[in-house]
Chains A and B, each alone.
Chain A
Amino acid sequence: MKAMEQARFTVSPYLVFPLVHSMQFGSEYLNMSIKPIQLAGHDTWISVILCGLCFHVVIWMVYRILNRNETDLIQIHRRFFGKWAGGGLNFIFIVYFLLHASLLLRLFIEIVQVWLFPDLATWLLASVLLLLVYYIVAGGFRVIVGICLFSLLRHLLIAAMLFTAGYFHFNNLSPVMDHSLNELLMAVKELAFPYVGVEILFFVYTFIKTPEKSEKWAHLANFVTTVSYLIVVLFSLLLFKFEQLSTQIWPQLTKYKFVRFPFIDRFEFVGASAQIFFVIPIICLCIWASSRAVKIMFAVKQRTVLPIFLILVFVAVSLIAGRNHIEAFQDLLSQIGFYMIFAYIPFVFLVDMVRVKAGRTV
């Protein structure tokens, strides 16, 4: 049953932490509060916690499915649904990962265009970044995880937000629970997208040494993500008036405008540039996972699939123009992500349960 990779390609269980955490914590967190805040207002932070809890349940389910089958999702699909239906589902995942990579790349390029270089061509930065992605992904899974680990340095930037503390208005948070539970749950749905990323576990499972031990690290990753998001959202609520916050597209980046050192007055160019540390690991993981799925499904070399996928992403990114397109794209993807996490994973979980029960009775 076991289908593990060779030892020299596998990583230690604790590296699941940077992996899952980097995959979740993309630059979509910058504008994560826009929509939920319309629903839950200053109580959005409660929704952030609720959403984090939901994802702990999802991670639990993911590990139950994986530990029982001891293989990755590509094989599980084939095993559960047969070659054709399973292949179709794998294909959906491939497309999803490619779309996710494209969206992240486009979001980042948009940030660069708005905050740093207004006249930068989309295709140019996209090609530079995709070359970088190629170099990383061609280095193999361990290099990708290394980049994930290295990108944890970005948490220093979260610390830089403490500079805004002088402008906090704590009465922005009260009265607590001014919104109905329904509103909070609606906000949870809107918030789910920044948390999406735990599905990568389905694909990296065989690359983890003693994967059963890695579950706690995945939970820790989700916990740290939740805490980071909580800080981000809380700071936004404390710093901005609700009405002000709804006008900000990237309230997170605006916060960097408050950072002050003796020789540096503002920090937003650092904050905007540093978003690359949020984006590159996700794009690498997405491209890696999708090209690996193709490798297993069609028995082709990953090295030949990789450039093709990069070109696909490049084309997709070049086609998305302007804020409106990006927003529409993000909405679409967050819908897909939401149903994948909260509908599809429980569905697979149930199918697995049924199979186990059926197996027992036979």
Chain B
Amino acid sequence: MTSVPRKWKELSESSDFVCYEHPTNNEPIFIGYFHSLIEPKVLHDHILGPLSNDSNLSFDDLYRSIPVGEKEIAFDWDTIQNKLLRGYVAIQYGLQPDQCMVVNAVASKGRSISAPEIEFTVEGPKEAFVESLDMNLNLIRKRVPFPELRVKELEVGELSKARVAVCYIKGLTNEQYLNTCIQRIADVQFDQITNITILQQMIEDNSNTIFPLTIGTERPDYAAWAVSSGQICVLMDGSPIAVFAPVNLGYFFITFEDYYLPWIVGSILRIIRMSSVLFSVFASPLYIAVMTYHGQGISNVFLPTIVSSRINVPFPPFVEVLILELVIELLREAGARLPTKIGQTIGIVGGIVLGTAAVEAALTSNFLLIIVALSALASFTTPIFRMSATIRLLRFPFIFSAQLGGLLGIFICTIAICAHLLRLTSLGMPYLVPYYPFRASDAYDTVIRPSYSKFHHRLSYFRSQRPVRVDKKQLNRKKDIDE
């Protein structure tokens, strides 16, 4: 092992780096690779095979005879090293050469494509992104077999050197958003980026907000839809999630399945989901406000029900709500950290036992128990995980302000949140678009998901270079009776 190139020696300090001299008659041939990264079959069949058949192959002949597409001739050590670390095999003639051949032999070990788990769908495709970037790109490109779909690859993290792919459609995606996005990824200053969610936080416009400003999805069909509507999709090797931006607040309450259902059904489900978000945020704060300050507003018929349920509860409504909300969060967190089956049991047992016991011990009223359980349930209808966490957290400032100022406190808090939302942008696009700035032409795909005959234009806030999706006249051609 003494005769390997000097720089290779440094690498061989790690025991999974293999390098040796291939016995030949002429110039020594050195072969080096990380055996943890490569597929031995490729090495044996395609590289060592030709070499052992004819050990006198020249550099160029060998390069030509290796039946692997991804191979190149590198001239500087940095490139060689990078390639080695990506599962290439390096072949070098002589000790101090000016050229070195690198051949891709990367082992594609990894999970195969499986059904989506977070964004489960009944009618949609049962494919989800996996950890391999190439496979993920394959999933997207299969759905957009369009020559203008461009993938720009970047590298992030000094240590992680993660491959990041930015997908967009040239001539459709707005250049300004694209440049912002690429610039932000290029500007990331962090050494170890292990998952795209870390990158996500770094490229968002504002890091001091609980609202997510980009969407991560595990569904290739959703990602393909996003790319074709003019958004930019970012993928990272090792992350089974595609992130797309720019997005607005409304996007977080849309599941892609809305688009697979008939439009009336899809719209109703969407409305239910959006109102459940409002319920989830406002239900327990309103309970506190009414119970603490505005009791005289409750109607005579309703009053006995609500009061007698908490007549023996020793805490003020505020503490009562806080206890129950924390219990629910606890159950959710415990359920999330445990294996699926135990998690479910904990959820059910904990929920039922704790709930009943808490009411019987007069720690909470059963009326509130219903409200809190319902609002927890409602918060889970939000399809995007980061948003549903936000919704759950958002409740707490409202709970506090309801305790402090009743309904007025809730209103003050609403205005403050609203002002905050107005300040947010996603890749420079206002977060509350199309409500503010209001765009009537974009109002079609917000609260309701209309029939596809209304989808003739791309949403104008994406500033797409190709605003027309389909010809409106053809789409909306009306037939006469009996025609």
Name A residues whose Cβ lies closer than 8 Å to a Cβ of B. Answer: 11-12, 14-15, 112, 116-117, 128-129, 132, 135-136, 139, 142-143, 146-147, 149-150, 260-267, 269-270, 272-274, 276-277, 280
Contacts and interface: CB of A to CB of B under 8 A. Distances in A.
Contact of B408 (A112, A142, A263): A112
B244 to A, nearest CB: 24
B407 A269 contact: yes
A328 to B, nearest CB: 26
Interface stretch (B275-283, B289-297, B368-376, B455-463): B289-297
A14 B440 CA distance: 11
A264 B412 contact: no
Contacts of B299: 260-265
A341 to B, nearest CB: 28
Q: Give the interface SS of chain B, mostly helix, strand, loop or mixed.
A: helix
Contacts of B436: 146, 149-150
Contact of A270 (B302, B407, B415, B423): B407
Contacts of A280: 415
Contact of A269 (B406, B416, B435, B437): B406
Nearest to B401: A128
Contact of B437 (A15, A267, A270): A15
B225 interface: no
Contacts of A116: 293, 406-408
Nearest to B299: A265
Given A263-B302, A265-B300, A276 B418 contact: no
B411 interface: yes
A265 B297 contact: yes
Given A147-B415, A264-B298, A280-B415, 7 more contacts: A116-B406, A146-B422, A149-B436, A150-B415, A150-B418, A265-B296, A273-B407
B419 A273 contact: no
A303 to B, nearest CB: 15
Nearest to A8: B428
Contacts of B415: 132, 136, 147, 150, 276-277, 280
Nearest to A259: B297
A142 B422 contact: yes
Given A262-B299, A263-B302, A266-B297, A132 B416 contact: yes
Q: Which of A264, A265, A273 counts the most B-chain CB atoms under 10 A from its CB?
A: A273
A265 B299 CA distance: 4
Given A14-B438, A15-B437, A147 B418 contact: yes
A11 B406 CA distance: 35
B422 A147 contact: yes
Nearest to A266: B297
22 contacts: A12-B437, A15-B437, A116-B408, A132-B412, A132-B415, A132-B419, A135-B420, A139-B422, A142-B422, A143-B419, A146-B419, A147-B415, A261-B299, A262-B299, A263-B298, A263-B299, A265-B300, A267-B297, A269-B293, A273-B408, A274-B411, A280-B415
A129 to B, nearest CB: 7
B439 to A, nearest CB: 9
B294 A128 contact: no
A273 B413 CA distance: 12
B241 interface: no
Contacts, number: 89
A116 B408 CA distance: 9
Contacts of B297: 264-267, 269-270
Contacts of A260: 299
B412 A128 contact: yes
A147 B416 CA distance: 10
A220 B116 CA distance: 51
Contacts of B224: none
A59 to B, nearest CB: 22
A142 B436 CA distance: 9
Contacts of B301: 262-263
Interface in B353-407: 405-407
Contacts of B435: 149
B432 interface: yes
Given A15-B437, A270-B407, A273-B411, A135 B419 contact: yes
A9 to B, nearest CB: 13
A14 B437 CA distance: 10
A264 B415 CA distance: 24
B344 to A, nearest CB: 34
A98 to B, nearest CB: 21
Interface string B307-351: 000000000000000000000000000000000000000000000
A295 B293 CA distance: 43
In order of increasing CB-CB distance, the 4 nearest A-B pairs are A146-B422, A265-B299, A273-B408, A273-B407
B131 to A, nearest CB: 40
A264 to B, nearest CB: 6
A70 B419 CA distance: 30
A12 B415 CA distance: 22
A133 to B, nearest CB: 10
A161 B254 CA distance: 35
Contact of A265 (B298, B418, B432): B298
A276 B422 contact: no
Given A142-B422, A143-B419, A266-B297, A276 B437 contact: no
A147 B297 CA distance: 28
Contacts of A265: 296-300
A11 B408 CA distance: 30
Contacts of A261: 299
B411 A276 contact: yes
Contact of A139 (B300, B411, B419, B432): B419
A314 B298 CA distance: 35
A266 B423 CA distance: 36
Contacts of B302: 262-263
A342 B132 CA distance: 72
B411 A277 contact: yes
Given A116-B406, A143-B422, A146-B432, A135 B411 contact: no
Contacts of B438: 14-15, 149
A132 B409 CA distance: 12
Interface in B58-95: none
B375 to A, nearest CB: 17
B418 to A, nearest CB: 5
B416 A135 contact: yes
Interface in B196-231: none
A1 B406 CA distance: 51
